[in-house]
Structure 1
Amino acid sequence: MSDERSQGVDFGELGDELENHDYPATPDELTEEYGDRTVEYNDGEERFGDVIEGVGVDEFESAEEVFETVMMMVGGEAADEGHSDRGAGTAPDEETDSF
């Protein structure tokens, strides 16, 4: 995940470190190990430890869970790139009849 921007969040080298971490892991363990790393998004950046502090999760089962949680925590700050999902998937299914 290095140098990869996912949904407006750039984990940089932290992404690789999280992927290589042994799971399950608690937020406290991840904060102790990687808390000073920076997560970047469109409108700025934030310390990883600050992002996952108090997330209400007892334990992460995988790096993917960590990534998803971070993306939720930074919310609109990361996702607002002029991209809109409005209307996506709302077209009626033309092949389905109710008869």
Structure 2
Amino acid sequence: MRLSDTGDKLDTHEYPATRDEIIQAYGDSTIELPNGTETLKAVLERIADDVYEGPEDARTAVFTGVGHEAVGRRFYSDRDPTMPGESGPEPVSF
């Protein structure tokens, strides 16, 4: 996921700021995802209205609010257990 110029905008915004203030100022900014793009408005509208104390809070909200398009392989896990009836690798303790 790349915030592109959206990250710069969040960094230079005056804080504290509400979610709605950020949306009003930069809502049309595009966030590049591995499987498409989303606007900042679409991402932040998934999150409850909040007040961000600084750019890190705003970035965390963006990272939290992105959709499944930001995930490389949806539902993939290399930690799934071996299914019944299959023989799998021997467990290793680290």
Give the TM-score taking structure 2 as reference length: 0.70
Structure 2, unpaired ranges of 5+: 80-92
Change (3 A) 1:24 1:85: farther
CA deviation map 1:29-87 (0-9, x unaligned)? 01110001111111110111111014113211111111111111115422326xx796x
Q: How many residues align?
A: 80
Q: 1:48 aligns with which of 30, 40, 43?
A: 40
> Which 4+ runs in 1 deviate beyond 4 A?
none
The TM-score normalised by the length of structure 1 is 0.67
Local SS of the residue matching 1:69: helix
Whether the 8 Å contact between 2:26 and 2:40 is mirrored in structure 1 is: yes
Q: Percent of counterpart pairs with the same letter?
A: 38
Alpha carbon RMSD of aligned pairs, Å?
Answer: 2.4
Moved more, 28-37 or 61-70: 61-70
CA distance in 1, matches of 2:31, 2:59: 11
Residue in 2 aligned with 1:79?
A: 71
Partner of 1:23: 15
If you compute each CA radius of gyration, which structure gives the higher value, 1 or 2?
A: 2
